[in-house]
Chain A
Amino acid sequence: MSEPLLAVENLRIDLTIGGVHHAAVKDVSFTIGRGETFGLVGESGCGKSVTALALIGLLRPPLSVGAGAIRFKGHDLAQIGADDMRRLRGASVSMIFQEPMTALNPLSPVGRQIAEMFVLHKGATWVEAEKRAVEALASVRVPAPDRRAKDYPHQLSGGMRQRVMIAIALACGPDLLLADEPTTALDVTVQAEILELIRDLSAARGTAVLMISHDLGLIANMCARVGVMYAGRLVEEREAEDVFRDPAHPYTAGLIASLPLLGARARHGRARLQEIEGVVPSVTAFPAGCRFNPRCAERLERCAADDPAETALAAGGRVRCWRHG
């Protein structure tokens, strides 16, 4: 197999409070191939968003990369200097966020915010760049793109703003697009259109996508492979189909059993949802041993004491659980 586009190796992200380092993300490793869609799924505080921020060099104190490497096109993004990162960001790796209203500049017409990408990264003149911005708006299926280019963000709907974000992110043809909950703030019908847009454009341009969401169904639908995060650990990594059909980690299995999946009641009647006991631990109080052990229905003696290592699964993928160790 050829070298992956992105290789995250034993990434640790520290949250430093009063001089104490808490591992908000610990020993996270995954790869994304060229043109591949990879999903990270987990609850708030599991470390999925800060992982993405580390990949694009946007971690700021109290968060910092504590250990590990982020290999991307011959660079180690964990070590790279600010100037080099700035050249990569937007051009080779870019990001879209959950709330496009706060990610866009409210004082600048959206066409100009797209055009900026061509000026900064491609050396285009403003006149040329504004023309290409209209084309970029058309490519994200914004109706009447020449008129919309002159609009300010507040004049657009949430769905249109997210299209503008995507146009900015894809303007320079990046190799990797980071999409952090890109549709969480949108209605389901608009979500479906935005997901389709990301799917079509990334396929047409060969852009790899790291999709981040708390919605397991969405991730399984959009991605080829899925990583499940819990309390800063990657607890399971699988082919998307396998995660739902045959989850290996008790957390993944519990999460799937706890979801009222559309169509389940019509097929099987109303079964009581399986609850996961307890609450999501806070980053300053992650439990010792396996971080899921206090909530785990399949806990073993050693789970509270020893941190499980990653185990390769016979069916493909890997899991971090003593039941498989």
Chain B
Amino acid sequence: MAESTPILRIEDLAVHFPQGGGLFGAPRMVRAVDGVDLTLARGECLGLVGESGCGKSTLALAVLGLQPPTRGRILVEGVEGAAAGAARKARARVAQMVFQDPYSSLNPRQSVRRTLEAPLRLHGVAGSEIDDRIAAMLKHVGLRPELADRYPHEFSGGQRQRIGIARALILEPRVVVLDEPVSALDVSIRAQIINLLLDLKERLGLSYIMISHDLGVVEHMSDRVAVMYLGRIVETGDWRDIFARPRHPYTRALIAAIPDPFEKKRTMRMTGEVPNPLAPPSGCRFHPRCPEAREACRAEPAPQLETIAAGHRVRCLRAAELAPAGETA
């Protein structure tokens, strides 16, 4: 796997947004994504986690080609396919998105058939093949093909999300971005959609980038995980590395923040909120909230992502010291 070309490679990606500025001053920059390197292997689910404002959604938009990068490259199967400048039609086959809210992300005036038909027609599919592909796709997502002529309001939330998934998959994109795919659904419906997404990944060989704040869902679904903080990846690795052997204090704090149903004691030691992205802290951007911070953490240059084990990388000066007992750094 390491040798083959990844389906997606992101190199030193940056997306900066100018804020304010005017006659007398240069605008200040929000570095929403600030030098991200990532790869996504074929058939893999990469979980992307971090608090609001960490840049995970901006990163996803860049992958979809909807947000031009300030710097860096996005390579799909080795070629720059998803660049914002690329033809819209070509981009549509590179990456598609499943949105969080299946109530607002479907056009209420379009039947399921029209929603699925339009992209196929645009991409030159014609005649009976259209109906065949729509029927096949509806079966894939667990909807009866007879329902194709119904409108979104005739479906439940879970069924709507199935329609949203069908729309994302109908052009067989190489990368599927799942943006909080179950968090708007009723709790008793979530398992249906999680199981469906994992089944589809198996059956159709899909590659996912999944954004979620629900760490239980991320652990369950991901093969690899990247943790972002203020525009940068602070830790990335196999799901076991992140959930069983987290090394970065921020990753540890995120996991400790999840209420444990069996244990009432508190483990949370991080305080405060994400700082203003217009004026990120010096040195390690996490140092003002970090329970492990030392004087050196405030100083420039900021720590780099360092490999601490095969495939496990951490951006922390104290990564070696913070290794659990019995584990070498």
Contacts and interface: CB of A to CB of B under 8 A. Distances in A.
Given A261-B216, A262-B216, A216 B261 contact: yes
Contact of A262 (B188, B255, B273): B255
A260 B258 CA distance: 13
B260 A266 contact: no
A247 B273 CA distance: 36
Interface in B154-213: 156-158, 186-192, 194-195, 213
A300 interface: no
Interface in B93-112: none
A273 B195 contact: yes
A192 to B, nearest CB: 4
Contacts of A273: 191, 194-195, 220
B317 interface: no
A221 B259 contact: yes
Nearest to B53: A187
B195 A275 contact: yes
A275 B259 contact: no
Interface stretch (A51-59, A68-76, A251-259): A251-259
Main secondary structure of the interface of A (DSSP, over half): helix
B262 interface: yes
B144 to A, nearest CB: 15
Interface string A231-256: 00000000011001100000100110
A266 B187 contact: no
Interface in A197-224: 214-218, 220-222
A274 interface: yes
Contacts of B186: 43-44, 279-280
Interface string B251-278: 0011111111111101010110110000
B219 A258 contact: no
Interface stretch (B237-245, B293-301, B305-313): B237-245
Contact of A266 (B194, B240, B273): B240
Contacts of B239: 265
Interface string A269-288: 01011111001100000000
Given A255-B187, A258-B190, A270-B220, A218 B266 contact: no
Contacts of B273: 157, 159-160, 189-190
A266 B262 contact: no
A306 interface: no
A101 interface: no
B258 A188 contact: yes
A159 B264 CA distance: 22
A221 B216 contact: no
A195 interface: yes
A24 to B, nearest CB: 16
A189 B273 CA distance: 8
Interface of B: 51-52, 156-158, 186-192, 194-195, 213-217, 219-221, 239-240, 243-244, 253-264, 266, 268, 270-271, 273-274
CB-CB nearest 5 A-B residue pairs: A260-B220, A221-B259, A220-B261, A258-B191, A273-B191
